[in-house]
A = this chain, B = another copy of it.
Amino acid sequence: MKDIANALNVSKTTVSWVLAGQGDRRKISLSTQEKILAYAKKVNYQPNLLARSLTNGSSYTLGLVIPSINDEFYAHIAREVEVEAEKYNYSLTFCSSEADSERESKLIRMLKSKRVDGLIIAPTKHSREELDIMIEEKYPFVLIDRYFPELDTNYVILDNKESSRRLVDRLVGEGRKKIAIITSDTHLLVMNLRRDGYRRALSEAGLPVIPALYGEVKRSEYETDIIRVLENIFREIPEVDGFYFATHYLAMEALRYFYRHEIDITEKIGLACLHTMPSFEILAPKMHIAEQPVREIGQQAVRILVNELESAGSETVKAKMVLPAVMNFG
């Protein structure tokens, strides 16, 4: 900009106005304007957005903190967030927390230091400290997929309990009586809500909740641990006739197991899963699926954030959205 000003014998101020499209408003002579625009084009001037951000106090970048970008669900979320953010001229910096709350805290601090305007977080655990600080500082952020009811934050989540209840209810409707539930990450409230939904459906149908039909998979080694869990259930309750998977990657691994052991999943065993993967339709056409409304989650998260950014200062009331799943009965 300085170069332009020097080359053209005008002030940086003038250049700045013109380049910002405020030339007319500031009544800068057309000839000067044209001169500047032409020269800027000639030298292929690109504004330094870093400097602009420092001056204006907003970077037009949002931060996305998720367990891993290399996960069907979160990659899709990232895409939808990106699309929506672009409408408001924001771009996205993402970080994978790897379900480690230490890391998560570090990443959040880093993103704040880089002065992203707001954060969209799928929190792994209660990073109490970081979230409290952000609430205190009124730093704009919205939680997705997971949340903490005791904290007054924005969030956009699935109606976990009801989605689960409906899925399991469907299995019950098929006459199944020994329905297992397979979960993971049980420190997460959402996982407990899913389990609640399962229990609910059973008790509404007058079926007992059998402890041996509960399987908990270690997240960090789920590919192998789920085998142990499944074998356990088949050994304890050989007459098991249904499985409800609390999340998609558990179902994926279970399907791998079922195929390998040629277990009949069209008649003998009914399946249900919270969220989906592109192959489920082929692998298990009869599986009942409650799909996360990915697009809406992404859109709402961005809108809530942008809304809060635009009404900076004026206290906005926190948005708490609980969305229904897209039900896909097999």
Contact = CB atoms under 8 A, between A and B. Distances in A.
A253 to B, nearest CB: 9
Interface string A77-107: 0110010000000011111100000000000
Contacts of A94: 78, 82, 92-94
A259 interface: yes
Contact of A93 (B47, B91, B96, B109): B91
Interface in A49-80: 49-51, 53-54, 59, 61, 68-72, 75-76, 78-79
Interface string A279-292: 10111000000000
A295 to B, nearest CB: 11
A113 B48 contact: yes
A313 interface: no
A255 interface: yes
Contact of A59 (B50, B72, B283): B50
Nearest to A115: B50
A206 B252 CA distance: 41
A110 interface: yes
A47 B54 CA distance: 13
A211 interface: no
Contacts of A238: none
Copies in the complex: 2
Contacts of A51: 54
A277 interface: yes
Contacts of A49: 113-115
Contacts of A54: 48, 50-51, 54
Given A50-B50, A70-B78, A93 B61 contact: yes
Contacts of A114: 49-50, 59, 61, 91
A251 to B, nearest CB: 11
A31 interface: no
A133 interface: yes
23 contacts: A49-B113, A49-B115, A50-B114, A54-B54, A59-B114, A69-B69, A69-B75, A69-B78, A69-B79, A70-B78, A71-B75, A82-B94, A82-B96, A91-B93, A91-B95, A91-B114, A92-B93, A92-B94, A92-B95, A252-B278, A252-B279, A256-B282, A283-B283
